[in-house]
Structure 1
Amino acid sequence: MLNKLSESIYYLSNQDEKERPTLGLVCGDQFSLLIDAGNSTQHAKDFLLEIEKLNVPPVKYLVITHAHWDHFLGMNEFDATVIVNNKTSELLKKWQSYTFDDSSLKKYVNTNQMSTKCMEIIQAEIPNRTSFKLSSPHIIFENTLTIDLGNKVCLLERIKSTHTDDSTIVYIPDEKVVFLGDAAYGTTTNALFHIKQSLLLPMIEDIRKHDAEFFLLGHESICDLNEMTIYWDELTAASQSVTSPSINEAIENFKLEMKRDPNENELFFMKAFVNDRIVQSR
């Protein structure tokens, strides 16, 4: 079921057990725009079935927030103009060259080009895999792009991100809503989860320059301004405490600066920033 945020904005909640991220729908007077295509043919079809239940303008655009499989593998199902930034376009070319029979999928997993979970979802939720080929995007932008849906403007912007180098956010100014995709998360390198410390403050600045009251995230669905402010504050405090690849030193720095112990979230973030120090030193 689609969740209604306003008269013109809906979202399909993330389903972590199925590796399904949040998908968005923004409606203008003339057209509708989708944010992310889902992790499979079936995910996309489920989204389309929910959209069909609404009396909304026809879907004209589909924005892919970044080139991680769970956000784009369903895009062939949509009769829409697919929009990506130029870095996402480059990264998608590898997937456009893939074949999806069992033998090929196992090869991609064995060479770390694809996760086992991705392979399993493709096998279960993309029919006719032997002939499946990922489509190409239609519009490629560099930094920003404005889309007018008819009295409803969407601003697309490639931002600095702790998650990927190709993160696009979608901001709807009159609604004070921003779809972040996975931009505000960390990433995994060589099985080590980390948050890119050098990009944290630039990312927060890129997002906070938009006057937003609601934030749609890829794997939490929706946060209000107060919740996001707490998130930013905890991330920032954790980052400031990490000056070396030592969690013990970071904890002591945190206690000295904040005059308290870190909470559970802050401790998790601190470990991720310590891991980033380790990743960067290799």
Structure 2
Amino acid sequence: MTAGNTGTKIAIVTGGSRGLGRNTVINLARRGVNSLFTYRANRAEADKVVSLVAEAGQKAIALPLDTGKVNTFDAFVEQVRKSLPELGAERFDFLVNNAGTSNHTPFEQTTEEELDGLYNVHFKGVFFLTQKLLPLINDGGRIVNISSGLTRVAFPGSGSYASMKGAVEVLTRYLAKELGPRKIAVNTVAPGAVATDFSGGMVRDNPEINRRVAEATALGRAGVPDDIGPMIASLLSEDNRWVNAQRIEVAGGMVI
């Protein structure tokens, strides 16, 4: 899928045991891509993803990682280095910075601890994990940073979360510029409201919220993981090799 490298491609996906990350890993497998993905605590769910990837004819390795703890990244990168040969390579091709936490605290009530937690996972973690993995990513590889439709449309209570995602969108453009000499393309994917367990399953499990999302969306429904994972897998493919430094919203036309 990447020019100049004809072997099986390898992706690293953070937060790959659930939600959009899980769907991305599975859809990459369907396109012939092996994955090394992270999970924070639920090993059982991670093992299920490994099995689903195997059913699709590919290989996946699950490694534990809290993306908010930068001081663990050196050890994690060493684990990645040791694990890659199990997937048939010394380096990898694609990085999807997906892992995240939600927050819906109104601005006036947001604590320093809450803001620091969001910063550590959504910006600092993305920044330094990407930096530390750069020596292992192939030239001509691709990076996708996951943002949110909330950077474009303001919903009260989401300001702290959306601000961190906004920072990631700016970082994406700078990475695209600075990694250009290595032919590494970097893009942002910004999902709209998706029915997963994110935010406590709010869109998936609350009929009123789901209805309001559907009414605000041109295509008339809330998103589902299968709307997002295939898109990310496609963006990483050779079909989209000339897409770079872009923010692509995948939201069915929400609030337009």
Fold-level match, TM-score > 0.5? no
Ranked by relative contact order (alpha carbons within 8 Å, sequence separation 6 or more), the top structure is 2
TM superposition score normalised by structure 1 = 0.26
The structure that has the greater radius of gyration is 1
TM superposition score normalised by structure 2 = 0.28
| Structure 1 or 2: more helix by fraction | 2
